[in-house]
Amino acid sequence: MNKMKQNLPIYLLILLLALPQMSFAQDTINSANTGWILTSTALVLFMTLPGLALFYGGLVRNKNILSVLMQCFAIACMVSILWMIFVYGLAFGDGGSMNKLVGMGMIFMSGIGLDSTSGDLPETVFFMFQMTFAIITPALIVGGFAERMKFSAVLWFSAIWLVVVYAPVTHWVWGGGWLSDMGFLDFAGGAVVHINAGIAAIVAAMVLGNRKGFPTTAMPPHNLPMVVTGASMLWVGWFGFNAGSALAADANAGMAMTVTHLSAAAGSLAWMACEWIKHGKPSVLGIVTGMVAGLGTITPASGFVGPIGGLCIGLIAGVVCYFATQYIKRGLKIDDSLDVFPVHGVGGILGTMLTAVFAAESMGGLGLDGSIGSQLVTQAIGVVATIAWCGIATFIILKLVDAMVGLRVTEEEETEGLDLVLHDERGYNF
């Protein structure tokens, strides 16, 4: 005991010397935040595989179900590899003199190791989390050209689009680009994911042309239980999408999750009510589509608004996206097969603009740096820039791919179904 007392000053000195290092390690990597973002990463991938795949798969005719599942699965694999090779660097790297437009570096994840950090997260975790966003965005576009595009064309289009459209817009908004400098608000992907996907989908639908028989021939979903199953997975996975974008296990993530859930519920009921009033009966397809509209519309606002904002945005989304869907299909007669533009595109635009309104403290939000009016101008600039860049680039990419491998299957192949024609398999053996 006496010896221990004698050495006590030495022990205290060692402890004092160790404290800065212990504090530095704790400050650099936050275990709670890391655990939450790891979980969110799995949830967002769950949205694509199996969530979106089953949702889209059930919506098409039974002769094309495997083609949709194949497209979603193959896009997930291909985007993952491209993200690792160089696309992550384009989105989040330091672009030097070009940094306002696009990033550079980190080819084959160079410079990213066990000791690399992004904020208080391991950079590998941030890398993976953002990869899942890059996966689901081109997968969403599949719904615009479902049942008629060649599989080879899908792969070429998705790869080029990821590099030319998705990566630059991501850098503008989240990678330190010019929209970020302007104060553009997009918490979890209103412009980066939903406007991008919606615009690309409707451009693709117009370039490819309508499916054979549209709009005179009915093309109902072949498996509504599968649609509801996939939609339910999307709802659960979306918590990783929005609450995970807080990049921390904190109150902001909790509020983002809360408003996401409220908006989904409100969007479902609003769409159901519109359909009930207009057609006399509420449909299962309608209530789940309203849920997706509510989720997509709250996405850009989810980290900036309060519960009232989440409720209002969901209600507005359900009504506006419902009528947008009717107008696109029946008014303009554009065959956006699975309603990607009226749900994700219109919802993304709506949510991005409404962020400026409901983020204000007077509306129960977290507050704005300026007035609602000035923020609306900033949001409008971001929306227009995203639409213009995505629309023009998507059109050019489609024409390029058409020249390379051809975009569309023949009428005979479309009639037979893409499952047999492109994959030599059937989804069902009856």
Confidence label for 9 from pLDDT (cuts 50, 70 and 90): low
Indicate if the pLDDT at residue 188 is higher than 50. Answer: yes
**pLDDT attached to residue 2:** 54
Question: pLDDT digit string (tens) for 199-255?
Answer: 999 999 999 999 999 999 999 999 999 999 999 999 999 999 999 999 999 999 999
Q: What is the CA radius of gyration of the chain?
A: 23
Count of residues for the chain?
Answer: 430
The pLDDT tens digits for 313-361 are 999 999 999 999 999 999 999 999 999 999 999 999 999 999 999 999 9
Helix (H) or strand (E) holding 372: helix 372-405
Write down the pLDDT at residue 429. 87
Structural domains in the chain plus CATH codes: 39-115+122-419 (1.10.3430.10)
| Helix, strand, coil content of the chain in percent (nearest 5) | 75, 0, 25
CA atoms within 13 A on the CB side of 194: 31
Q: DSSP letter string over 205-271?
A: HHHH-PPTTTTTS----S-HHHHHHHHHHHHHHHHHHHGGGG-SSSHHHHHHHHHHHHHHHHHHHHH
Residue 414: HSE in the Cβ half-sphere, 13 Å Cα cutoff = 18
What is the identity of the amino acid at 204? Answer: A
The confidence score (pLDDT) of residue 430 equals 73
Does residue 17 register a pLDDT over 80?
no
Mean residue pLDDT across the chain: 94
Predicted structure pTM score: 0.93
Q: Is the pLDDT of residue 380 over 60?
A: yes
Residue with tokens 């990678």: 175
The answer to whether residue 23 scores a pLDDT higher than 50 is no
